[in-house]
Protein backbone atom coordinates (compact mmCIF):
# COMPACT_ATOMS: atom_id res chain seq x y z
CA UNK A 1 0.00 0.00 0.00
CA UNK A 2 1.32 3.47 -0.79
CA UNK A 3 0.39 6.94 0.36
CA UNK A 4 1.38 9.42 3.03
CA UNK A 5 -0.69 7.57 5.66
CA UNK A 6 -0.02 4.05 4.42
CA UNK A 7 -0.57 1.45 7.13
CA UNK A 8 -2.06 3.91 9.62
CA UNK A 9 -5.41 3.62 11.38
CA UNK A 10 -7.21 6.95 11.86
CA UNK A 11 -10.37 8.10 13.63
CA UNK A 12 -12.03 11.28 12.31
CA UNK A 13 -14.97 12.81 14.18
CA UNK A 14 -17.50 15.14 12.56
CA UNK A 15 -16.84 13.15 9.40
CA UNK A 16 -20.31 13.37 7.82
CA UNK A 17 -19.83 16.93 6.59
CA UNK A 18 -17.43 19.74 5.78
CA UNK A 19 -13.85 19.57 7.05
CA UNK A 20 -14.24 16.12 8.63
CA UNK A 21 -15.74 14.61 5.48
CA UNK A 22 -12.95 16.03 3.28
CA UNK A 23 -10.30 14.86 5.76
CA UNK A 24 -11.68 11.33 6.08
CA UNK A 25 -11.70 11.00 2.27
CA UNK A 26 -8.16 12.42 1.95
CA UNK A 27 -6.77 10.22 4.75
CA UNK A 28 -8.28 7.16 3.04
CA UNK A 29 -6.92 8.22 -0.36
CA UNK A 30 -3.48 8.46 1.29
CA UNK A 31 -3.66 4.88 2.48
CA UNK A 32 -5.13 5.11 5.99
CA UNK A 33 -7.82 2.86 7.34
CA UNK A 34 -10.36 5.44 8.46
CA UNK A 35 -13.05 5.19 11.11
CA UNK A 36 -15.36 8.07 10.20
CA UNK A 37 -17.67 9.05 13.05
CA UNK A 38 -20.52 11.54 13.43
CA UNK A 39 -23.83 12.05 15.21
CA UNK A 40 -25.47 12.42 11.79
CA UNK A 41 -25.92 9.22 9.84
CA UNK A 42 -24.47 8.95 6.34
CA UNK A 43 -22.84 6.36 4.12
CA UNK A 44 -19.77 4.85 5.76
CA UNK A 45 -20.31 6.81 8.98
CA UNK A 46 -20.20 5.20 12.42
CA UNK A 47 -22.62 6.81 14.85
CA UNK A 48 -20.76 8.34 17.79
CA UNK A 49 -21.05 11.47 19.91
CA UNK A 50 -17.59 13.04 20.13
CA UNK A 51 -18.47 14.58 23.50
CA UNK A 52 -19.48 11.27 25.10
CA UNK A 53 -16.75 9.38 26.93
CA UNK A 54 -18.49 6.06 26.31
CA UNK A 55 -18.67 6.72 22.55
CA UNK A 56 -15.03 7.84 22.29
CA UNK A 57 -13.93 4.71 24.18
CA UNK A 58 -16.06 2.71 21.73
CA UNK A 59 -14.31 4.26 18.69
CA UNK A 60 -10.83 3.57 20.07
CA UNK A 61 -11.88 0.04 21.00
CA UNK A 62 -13.21 -0.46 17.46
CA UNK A 63 -9.87 0.64 16.01
CA UNK A 64 -8.07 -1.82 18.28
CA UNK A 65 -10.44 -4.74 17.73
CA UNK A 66 -11.01 -4.44 13.97
CA UNK A 67 -7.80 -2.82 12.77
CA UNK A 68 -5.15 -3.76 15.33
CA UNK A 69 -4.58 -0.33 16.88
CA UNK A 70 -4.72 3.43 16.42
CA UNK A 71 -2.23 5.92 14.95
CA UNK A 72 -4.22 9.10 14.29
CA UNK A 73 -7.19 10.76 16.01
CA UNK A 74 -8.61 13.86 14.30
CA UNK A 75 -10.95 15.37 16.92
CA UNK A 76 -12.78 17.63 14.53
CA UNK A 77 -16.48 17.54 15.51
CA UNK A 78 -17.81 20.91 16.55
CA UNK A 79 -20.92 23.04 16.93
CA UNK A 80 -21.07 26.82 16.73
CA UNK A 81 -24.08 28.00 18.73
CA UNK A 82 -24.47 30.82 16.21
CA UNK A 83 -23.22 34.40 16.35
CA UNK A 84 -25.00 34.94 19.67
CA UNK A 85 -24.35 37.79 22.09
CA UNK A 86 -23.39 37.10 25.70
CA UNK A 87 -26.95 37.94 26.78
CA UNK A 88 -28.43 35.42 24.38
CA UNK A 89 -26.53 32.44 25.82
CA UNK A 90 -27.45 30.38 28.88
CA UNK A 91 -25.17 28.21 31.02
CA UNK A 92 -26.82 25.24 29.29
CA UNK A 93 -25.79 26.60 25.88
CA UNK A 94 -22.22 26.96 27.16
CA UNK A 95 -22.25 23.45 28.63
CA UNK A 96 -23.27 21.85 25.33
CA UNK A 97 -20.80 23.87 23.23
CA UNK A 98 -17.93 23.15 25.66
CA UNK A 99 -18.96 19.49 25.86
CA UNK A 100 -18.65 18.92 22.13
CA UNK A 101 -15.89 21.39 21.20
CA UNK A 102 -13.53 21.13 24.17
CA UNK A 103 -14.39 18.06 26.24
CA UNK A 104 -14.58 16.12 22.95
CA UNK A 105 -10.89 16.77 22.12
CA UNK A 106 -9.98 16.10 25.77
CA UNK A 107 -11.67 12.68 25.53
CA UNK A 108 -9.88 12.00 22.25
CA UNK A 109 -6.53 12.71 23.92
CA UNK A 110 -7.39 10.72 27.02
CA UNK A 111 -8.50 7.58 25.20
CA UNK A 112 -6.39 7.68 22.04
CA UNK A 113 -3.11 8.11 23.88
CA UNK A 114 -2.96 4.69 25.62
CA UNK A 115 -3.78 2.96 22.31
CA UNK A 116 -1.14 5.01 20.46
CA UNK A 117 1.48 4.29 23.12
CA UNK A 118 1.09 0.59 22.30
CA UNK A 119 2.00 1.41 18.64
CA UNK A 120 5.10 3.38 19.69
CA UNK A 121 3.49 6.77 19.05
CA UNK A 122 0.81 8.63 17.17
CA UNK A 123 -0.69 11.94 16.15
CA UNK A 124 -3.70 13.64 17.72
CA UNK A 125 -5.15 16.66 15.93
CA UNK A 126 -7.98 18.85 17.17
CA UNK A 127 -9.90 21.44 15.19
CA UNK A 128 -9.74 24.78 16.98
CA UNK A 129 -10.48 28.02 15.08
CA UNK A 130 -9.25 31.55 14.52
CA UNK A 131 -12.14 32.28 16.92
CA UNK A 132 -9.92 30.81 19.64
CA UNK A 133 -7.21 33.39 18.96
CA UNK A 134 -9.18 36.61 19.12
CA UNK A 135 -12.73 37.99 18.98
CA UNK A 136 -14.71 38.49 15.82
CA UNK A 137 -15.06 34.96 14.48
CA UNK A 138 -17.76 33.35 16.59
CA UNK A 139 -20.06 33.56 19.60
CA UNK A 140 -18.80 33.72 23.19
CA UNK A 141 -18.99 30.02 24.12
CA UNK A 142 -17.66 28.89 20.74
CA UNK A 143 -14.68 31.25 20.92
CA UNK A 144 -13.88 30.24 24.51
CA UNK A 145 -14.13 26.56 23.61
CA UNK A 146 -11.67 26.99 20.73
CA UNK A 147 -9.23 28.97 22.89
CA UNK A 148 -9.44 26.02 25.26
CA UNK A 149 -8.56 23.60 22.47
CA UNK A 150 -5.42 25.61 21.63
CA UNK A 151 -4.30 25.36 25.24
CA UNK A 152 -5.32 21.71 25.56
CA UNK A 153 -3.03 20.64 22.73
CA UNK A 154 -0.08 22.39 24.39
CA UNK A 155 -0.68 20.73 27.76
CA UNK A 156 -1.39 17.34 26.18
CA UNK A 157 1.66 17.56 23.90
CA UNK A 158 3.83 18.22 26.93
CA UNK A 159 2.40 15.30 28.86
CA UNK A 160 2.43 12.76 26.01
CA UNK A 161 5.74 13.56 24.33
CA UNK A 162 7.63 10.80 26.14
CA UNK A 163 5.30 8.28 24.47
CA UNK A 164 6.07 9.84 21.04
CA UNK A 165 2.51 11.08 20.73
CA UNK A 166 2.23 14.50 19.10
CA UNK A 167 -0.79 16.73 19.73
CA UNK A 168 -1.56 19.70 17.48
CA UNK A 169 -4.49 21.93 16.59
CA UNK A 170 -5.66 23.51 13.36
CA UNK A 171 -7.22 26.98 13.42
CA UNK A 172 -9.31 27.34 10.26
CA UNK A 173 -10.55 30.71 9.09
CA UNK A 174 -13.85 30.97 7.23
CA UNK A 175 -14.45 27.70 5.36
CA UNK A 176 -17.60 26.83 3.41
CA UNK A 177 -19.17 23.88 5.24
CA UNK A 178 -22.45 22.88 6.85
CA UNK A 179 -21.61 25.14 9.78
CA UNK A 180 -21.11 28.27 7.69
CA UNK A 181 -23.58 27.34 4.93
CA UNK A 182 -26.25 29.77 6.19
CA UNK A 183 -23.75 32.67 6.06
CA UNK A 184 -22.79 31.79 2.48
CA UNK A 185 -26.46 31.33 1.50
CA UNK A 186 -27.37 34.72 2.95
CA UNK A 187 -24.47 36.46 1.22
CA UNK A 188 -25.28 34.81 -2.13
CA UNK A 189 -28.98 35.68 -1.82
CA UNK A 190 -27.99 39.32 -1.27
CA UNK A 191 -25.52 39.19 -4.21
CA UNK A 192 -22.66 39.88 -1.78
CA UNK A 193 -20.64 36.68 -1.89
CA UNK A 194 -17.39 38.53 -2.56
CA UNK A 195 -17.93 40.47 0.70
CA UNK A 196 -17.31 37.26 2.66
CA UNK A 197 -13.62 37.42 1.81
CA UNK A 198 -13.12 41.15 1.47
CA UNK A 199 -11.09 41.51 4.68
CA UNK A 200 -9.01 38.44 3.90
CA UNK A 201 -5.60 39.02 2.28
CA UNK A 202 -6.43 36.22 -0.20
CA UNK A 203 -9.85 37.80 -0.84
CA UNK A 204 -11.81 34.60 -0.41
CA UNK A 205 -13.06 32.04 2.06
CA UNK A 206 -11.49 28.59 2.19
CA UNK A 207 -12.52 25.12 1.05
CA UNK A 208 -12.70 22.04 3.32
CA UNK A 209 -9.88 20.38 1.36
CA UNK A 210 -7.53 23.23 2.32
CA UNK A 211 -8.00 22.28 5.99
CA UNK A 212 -7.89 18.55 5.20
CA UNK A 213 -4.46 19.07 3.60
CA UNK A 214 -3.19 20.62 6.84
CA UNK A 215 -4.69 17.75 8.83
CA UNK A 216 -2.99 15.27 6.50
CA UNK A 217 0.40 16.90 7.12
CA UNK A 218 -0.13 16.83 10.90
CA UNK A 219 -1.37 13.23 10.77
CA UNK A 220 1.57 12.03 8.71
CA UNK A 221 5.17 11.42 9.73
CA UNK A 222 6.14 14.48 7.65
CA UNK A 223 5.22 16.57 10.71
CA UNK A 224 7.32 14.42 13.06
CA UNK A 225 8.89 17.50 14.73
CA UNK A 226 5.66 19.57 14.95
CA UNK A 227 4.20 19.31 18.43
CA UNK A 228 1.84 21.39 20.60
CA UNK A 229 1.30 23.77 17.69
CA UNK A 230 -1.88 25.59 16.68
CA UNK A 231 -1.59 25.82 12.91
CA UNK A 232 -3.53 28.73 11.47
CA UNK A 233 -5.04 28.03 8.04
CA UNK A 234 -7.01 31.15 7.23
CA UNK A 235 -5.60 32.81 4.10
CA UNK A 236 -3.90 35.35 6.35
CA UNK A 237 -7.11 36.60 8.00
CA UNK A 238 -5.73 36.71 11.54
CA UNK A 239 -2.29 38.23 10.83
CA UNK A 240 -3.47 41.82 10.59
CA UNK A 241 -5.69 44.33 12.33
CA UNK A 242 -8.71 44.96 10.09
CA UNK A 243 -7.23 47.25 7.45
CA UNK A 244 -7.72 46.92 3.72
CA UNK A 245 -4.36 47.78 2.13
CA UNK A 246 -5.98 47.76 -1.33
CA UNK A 247 -8.23 50.68 -0.36
CA UNK A 248 -5.10 52.79 0.10
CA UNK A 249 -3.17 51.49 -2.92
CA UNK A 250 -0.66 49.86 -0.58
CA UNK A 251 -0.61 46.34 -1.98
CA UNK A 252 2.51 45.41 -3.93
CA UNK A 253 0.59 44.31 -7.06
P1 LIG B 1 -19.96 21.00 9.56
O2 LIG B 1 -21.19 21.40 10.30
O3 LIG B 1 -20.00 20.89 8.09
O4 LIG B 1 -19.38 19.62 10.14
C5 LIG B 1 -19.38 19.36 11.51
C6 LIG B 1 -19.80 17.92 11.71
O7 LIG B 1 -19.68 17.61 13.11
C8 LIG B 1 -21.25 17.65 11.31
O9 LIG B 1 -21.33 16.54 10.45
C10 LIG B 1 -21.95 17.38 12.64
O11 LIG B 1 -23.02 16.45 12.54
C12 LIG B 1 -20.78 16.81 13.45
N13 LIG B 1 -21.02 16.87 14.90
C14 LIG B 1 -21.59 17.87 15.61
N15 LIG B 1 -21.64 17.52 16.91
C16 LIG B 1 -21.09 16.28 17.00
C17 LIG B 1 -20.85 15.40 18.07
N18 LIG B 1 -21.22 15.70 19.34
N19 LIG B 1 -20.26 14.22 17.81
C20 LIG B 1 -19.91 13.88 16.54
N21 LIG B 1 -20.12 14.67 15.49
C22 LIG B 1 -20.70 15.87 15.72
O23 LIG B 1 -18.87 22.08 10.01
P24 LIG B 1 -17.30 22.18 9.77
O25 LIG B 1 -17.04 23.59 9.50
O26 LIG B 1 -16.80 21.13 8.87
O27 LIG B 1 -16.81 21.90 11.27
C28 LIG B 1 -15.70 21.07 11.57
C29 LIG B 1 -14.87 21.74 12.63
O30 LIG B 1 -14.25 22.92 12.07
C31 LIG B 1 -15.63 22.21 13.85
O32 LIG B 1 -14.89 21.91 15.02
C33 LIG B 1 -15.71 23.71 13.64
O34 LIG B 1 -15.85 24.39 14.86
C35 LIG B 1 -14.39 23.97 12.99
N36 LIG B 1 -14.24 25.22 12.28
C37 LIG B 1 -14.98 25.51 11.18
C38 LIG B 1 -14.79 26.72 10.52
C39 LIG B 1 -15.60 27.09 9.29
O40 LIG B 1 -15.49 28.25 8.85
N41 LIG B 1 -16.37 26.18 8.74
C42 LIG B 1 -13.86 27.64 10.99
C43 LIG B 1 -13.12 27.32 12.11
C44 LIG B 1 -13.30 26.11 12.75
DSSP states of 202-216 as a string?
TSS-B-HHHHHHHHH
142 is catalytic: yes
The answer to whether residue 4 is domain-embedded is: no
Q: What is the mean pLDDT of residues 44-48?
A: 98
Minimum mean pLDDT range among 73-77, 111-115, 199-203: 199-203
User: pLDDT for 181-231, tens place per residue?
Assistant: 999 999 999 999 888 888 899 999 999 999 999 999 999 999 999 999 999
Could you tell me the distance, in angstroms and rounded to a whole number, from the CA of residue 96 to the centre of ligand 1? 14
- The answer to whether position 208 is within a domain reads yes
Contact predicate 78/17, CB 8 Å: no
pLDDT of residue 66: 98
User: How many A from CA of 204 to the centre of ligand 1?
Assistant: 20
With respect to residue 237, please indicate whether it lies within any of the assigned structural domains: yes
Euclidean distance between CA atoms 83 and 138, whole angstroms? 6
Q: Is residue 1 part of a domain?
A: no
- Which of 7-21, 73-87, 238-252 has the weakest average pLDDT? 238-252
Range of the domain at 82: 9-252
Phi-psi region of 75 (alpha: psi -120 to 50; beta: other; left: phi over 0): beta
Looking up residue 84, the CATH number of its domain turns out to be: 3.40.50.720
1 — pLDDT class (breaks 50, 70, 90): low
Per-residue pLDDT of 49-67, as tens digits, reads 999 999 999 999 999 999 9
What average pLDDT does the segment 1-19 reach?
95
Residue 190 lies in a domain: yes
Q: How many structural domains is the chain composed of? A: 1
**Size of the chain in residues:** 253
**Ligand 1 centroid distance, CA of 162 (Å):** 31
- 2 domain residue, yes or no: no
**First-to-last CA distance in the chain?**
45
Q: pTM score, two decimals?
A: 0.98
Is the pLDDT at 115 greater than 70? The verdict is yes
Is the CB–ligand 1 distance for residue 42 below 6 Å? no
Sign of CA pseudo-dihedral 97, 99, 133, 226: negative
Q: Which residue has the higher pLDDT, 242 or 218?
A: 218
| pLDDT greater than 70 at residue 38 | yes
**Has residue 3 been placed in a domain?**
no
For ligand 1, is residue 129 a contact (CB within 6 Å)? Answer: yes
Q: Where residue 250 falls among pLDDT bands split at 50, 70, 90?
A: confident
Amino acid sequence: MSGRLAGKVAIVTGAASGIGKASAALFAAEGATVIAADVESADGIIGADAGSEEDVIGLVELARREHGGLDVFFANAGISGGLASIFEQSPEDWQEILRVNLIGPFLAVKHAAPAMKKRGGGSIIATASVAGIRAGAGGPAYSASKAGVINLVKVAATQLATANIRVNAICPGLIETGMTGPIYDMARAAGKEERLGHLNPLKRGGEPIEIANAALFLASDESSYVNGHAMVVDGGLSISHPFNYQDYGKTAF
